[in-house]
Amino acid sequence: MKKVLGLVVFNCLFTSSIAFAQTSLLVVFPPTNYQTSTEKIFFIGTAAPDGQVLINGRPITRSQTGHFSLSLPLQLGENVFKIRYQNQEREIKVTRLSTQPELLQGLGFTKDSLTPAVDIARLPGELICFGAIAPPQASVSVKLANQTIPLSLQPPQAQLPINSSVLTGKNQPTTSSPNKYQGCTTVAKVADLGQPLFSLTLNGNTATQLSPGKISILTPTQLPVTEVIAASGVTRTGPSTDYSRLTPLPKGTRATVTGRKGDWLRLDYGAWINSKETKIIPDAVPPQTVIRSVGYRQRAGETEILFPLQAAVPVSVEQSEGTLTLTLYNTTAQTDTIRIDDNSLISRLDWQQVTPTQVKYIFNLKNLQQWGYKLKYDYTTLVLSLRHAPNIHTRKLLPLSGIKILLDPGHGGKESGSSGPNGYLAKDVNLVLSKLLRDELVQRGATVVMTREDDRVVSLVERQEIISKEQPAISLSIHYNFLADDSKVEKTRGLVSFWYHPQAHSLAVFLHNYLVNKRLEPSYGVFWNNLALTRPSSAPAVLLEFRLMSNADEFEEIVNSQQQRKIAKTLADGVTEWFKMTK
């Protein structure tokens, strides 16, 4: 979420397409002395509709009620914009920062370019790589203990855009800065190798610098064992939050640590986890288990599959059309008996030993639509809870009778979200639309739970916990959109729908198309996205981003009370039709 300084915040909710009489010039974004690395910056604001608003002497296009939103190019360094309306003028300075590292003038390495930049630990024989940015034609090497590793000048490498750039269609790679030197080595013996010493020689002169990170080689027979202490340990494909998420590990899971990078631990099955979510178990042996019988028990609205284990080992879940696959790591099967009676959810359970330490259990399901799952450890017994389809009654006047639906109005309190040209905040319109939708769903017989019903902060973790506790049939998170600094806000419009788990894909696509086909919303697209409110696995969860708050023309419809009621009614109709389709 972009935090905008100096916003004028209005506590009242505007539900009319005609904004209040604005006689003064208001620039909502950007604030003065703003810094960005993008090539463009958008300006959002308003003034009375009569007269002109000029930016650096040029008139700009505004909506009928005087709002404006437009993107302007930026040069590297300081950019000064003078916004004028009648006798009022604002001066805003925007500094465009370079995305390329600043090359050192003279002999030496570019600031913060030495890697490893944090302490790392590796197994004997594993590749250890070093990097630095230095002047061309230099001779660069690294001394590690009694080794000297030459670093070679590399050809320019493609620099990948951030993940969110796919939302603006600007997800093409660019060329990274030149003058990057790299090299690798291996170390066979256990040792604390300390900080590598980088050396640079150019024109007969030499400069040296210690790496910020230390290197150690672990003892294979004495690897530490860690236990997950978070309620749901976040695992990733690499050692930072930039890497993709994997299936979270239930509290109590134990795994051997085979590597470290800064605060991140590499676990024996390949995933990385932040050390703050774990604790080291002194003198523990590497967790391994066999598995024998697998059983189940029925609960209200769900089937629990029980996997008795000797140790709480790492697990992962994959959903696909008609199946759910559970993988147990550090596990060897001795399974001869599995009990699954004529279950309303599961048609058959298959298993296979994929590798000597990896077992897969494949649940063949009777229906394509999955309604959610949970994982937990009860001591060392893994419990997988598979939710049954909700009881959908066929009452004509109350088609959603018996259905619990969770609505999540985005933001709230100091978390204001994006802003419209006149300072109207996304948190307010999110709540307005959610309450209108709640009323429509209740009229159709649904039980509706809301994560907030007033203007207050509800953290992302709290919202996830509410979903897990309430176990609704579906969860809908309601937002109004914003885009990055270099977006063409004056040309961008439309509904964006997000899903994460396959169980939510059908819901996301159906509701998106339903609103678009009713011509209430143009389509910006349906996206798989790793968002906090799409990640809950206990129910199909979808996040809807309605029109762009910062688009002056779209804003006219956002604050139109008649349009808000239409969207709420149509979305409730879409929810009703989707449940009919999934029966």
Peptide bond into 239 cis (omega under 30): no
What is d(CA 472, CA 507) in angstroms, rounded to the nearest whole number?
14
Reduced to 3 states (helix: H, G, I; strand: E, B; else coil), residue 348 is strand
User: Residue 426: enclosing H or E segment and its boundaries?
Assistant: helix 426-443
Structure tokens at 101: 């590292």
Are 85 and 25 in contact, with CB atoms under 8 Å apart? Answer: yes
What is the per-residue pLDDT for 484?
57
What is d(CA 554, CA 494) in angstroms, rounded to the nearest whole number?
9
Classify burial at 91, counting beta carbons within 10 Å of its beta carbon; exposed 0-12, middle 13-18, buried 19 or more: exposed
Over residues 254-278, the pLDDT tens digits come to: 999 999 999 999 999 999 999 999 9
What is the per-residue pLDDT for 132?
95
What is d(CA 170, CA 160) in angstroms, rounded to the nearest whole number?
11
Whole-number average pLDDT of the chain: 90
What is d(CA 42, CA 177) in angstroms, rounded to the nearest whole number?
27
Q: Which residues of the chain have pLDDT under 70?
A: 1-23, 103-105, 168, 176-177, 394-395, 483-492
What is d(CA 549, CA 378) in angstroms, rounded to the nearest whole number?
46
What is the per-residue pLDDT for 172?
76
What is the per-residue pLDDT for 492?
62
SS3 readout for 155-206? CCCEECCCHHHHHCCCCCCEECCCCEEEEEEECCCCEEEECCEEEEEECCEE
What is the per-residue pLDDT for 562?
94
What is d(CA 429, CA 437) in angstroms, rounded to the nearest whole number?
12
Computed from CA positions of residues 391, 393, 398, 399, in that sequence, does the dihedral angle turn out positive or negative? Answer: positive
What is d(CA 110, CA 100) in angstroms, rounded to the nearest whole number?
11
pTM as predicted: 0.89
